Structure 1
């Protein structure tokens, strides 16, 4: 079985064409990142690139498409609409597609309180085993074929300041995940757990307190060995840390639409085990481990 994993696509509206009062003070601060930080230029073609990645899912014979958060630049309504349009038919098929929110998708308290992400992607939060939900839609599980399951978690929280971007899964979702892992209906299946924040960095260290996943160790402890993988985004670097006897595979998808760094993972599952992955650029056929 084959899974496509991308992340941090950051569909970006033209912020300077919008009235400042509509943006709110948090996005006023973010304008510095868009301009001096170069983010607006880096993601100018993000919608087109995401569309190309979605088409690649069919080209590569992918069984399931996974996007691990940060669909938007700063959670504007138009950015969510554009992300959904870029995904095309995938966005209407929970059997074929899993999408979770990232911290940029709940960037303002208003976007979080109104459930803006769910307004556009709520259909992809359905669960094949809904009795294991503990916090809203999470964790949800998608049974893929006979040999795999995809589990969605939410680590994205509305935080008090734009300078903070850490994530927390929380004890309720972790308890639900533990129940899922123990459920006999998942016996013999590889389990791919999707969360936005990175349990480890490219250097295989814990991320910083202001940016990282606060309960990373608790998550990893539940998922020992090559039957399991954690698929994440947030850190804009693409890497794979192979599984060990007491830890799952870790796949960081990088930022899949960032100019000059476009790409995604194709992850292979055989016999109920995650056997590895290859990096691909949009429109490419060849990859590298």
Structure 2
């Protein structure tokens, strides 16, 4: 079986065409990152790149497409709209597609309160095993074929202030994940757990307190060995830490649409185990 994994596509609106008042103070702060920091320029072709990845997923004959959060720059409705449009028909079918929110998708309290992510992608949060949900829709389970299951977790929380972007799954969701792992219906399946924040950085170390996944150890302890993989984004580096006896495979998808660093994973599952992955660069016309 084959899974395409991308992340942090950061579809970015024209912020200077927005009402400055409606942007709110958090996005005022972000304007420095968009302009002086070069983020708007770096993601100028993000919709085209994401559309290319979605098309190539079909070319790879992927059984499932996974996007591990940060569809948007700063959670504007138009950014969600453009992300959904770029994904095309793939996003309409939850049997073929799993998407979770990242911290940029809940960048403001208003975007979280209004359920902006759910408005555009909520149909993908339905679960094939709803009895294991603990925190709203999470964790949700997608049974893929006869050999695999995809589990979606929520780690993205509204930041108290810009610059604090750490994640937390929390004991309630982890208890639900433990129940999923023990469910006999998954006994012979590989389990791919999708979370936005990174359990380990590309250096193989925990991320910083202000940026990392605070309960990374608790997550990995539930998923020992090559039957399991954690697929994440947030860290804009693409890497694979191979599973050990007490830790799952960890696939960081990087930022799949970042100019000059575009890319995604094609992950292989065979015999109920994750057997490896290969990096690909999307071919964007023009």
**When the two structures are superposed, what TM-score results if normalisation uses the length of structure 2?**
0.99
Alignment of 1:251-262 (within 5 A): 251-262=251-262
Equivalents in 2 of 1:248, 1:187: separation in Å? Answer: 16
Q: Deviations over 1:207-237 (max 9, x none)?
A: 0000000000000000000000000000000
- CA offset at residue 67 of structure 1? 0.1
Equivalents in 2 of 1:160, 1:220: separation in Å? Answer: 26
Alignment of 1:136-151 (within 5 A): 136-151=136-151
| SS of corresponding position for 2:151 | strand
Structure 2 unaligned residues grouped into runs of 5+: none
1:283 is matched with which residue?
283
- CA offset at residue 111 of structure 1? 0.1
| SS of corresponding position for 1:75 | coil
- CA offset at residue 97 of structure 1? 0.1
Equivalents in 1 of 2:148, 2:120: separation in Å? Answer: 26
Q: Deviations over 1:128-147 (max 9, x none)?
A: 00000000000000000000
| SS of corresponding position for 1:24 | helix
Alignment of 1:110-121 (within 5 A): 110-121=110-121
Equivalents in 2 of 1:179, 1:225: separation in Å? Answer: 17
Equivalents in 1 of 2:88, 2:159: separation in Å? Answer: 31
The answer to whether structure 1 residue 238 and structure 2 residue 276 are counterparts is: no
Alignment of 1:187-206 (within 5 A): 187-206=187-206
- CA offset at residue 22 of structure 1? 1.3
The answer to whether structure 1 residue 168 and structure 2 residue 177 are counterparts is: no
Q: Which runs of 4+ in 1 moved over 6 A?
A: none
Equivalents in 1 of 2:86, 2:168: separation in Å? Answer: 28
The answer to whether structure 1 residue 135 and structure 2 residue 146 are counterparts is: no
The answer to whether structure 1 residue 18 and structure 2 residue 18 are counterparts is: yes
**When the two structures are superposed, what TM-score results if normalisation uses the length of structure 1?**
0.98
Structure 1 unaligned residues grouped into runs of 5+: 285-289
1:65 is matched with which residue?
65
Equivalents in 1 of 2:199, 2:103: separation in Å? Answer: 15
Q: Deviations over 1:105-131 (max 9, x none)?
A: 000000001110000000000100000
- CA offset at residue 19 of structure 1? 1.3
1:287 is matched with which residue?
none
RMSD, matched Cα: 0.7
| SS of corresponding position for 2:160 | coil
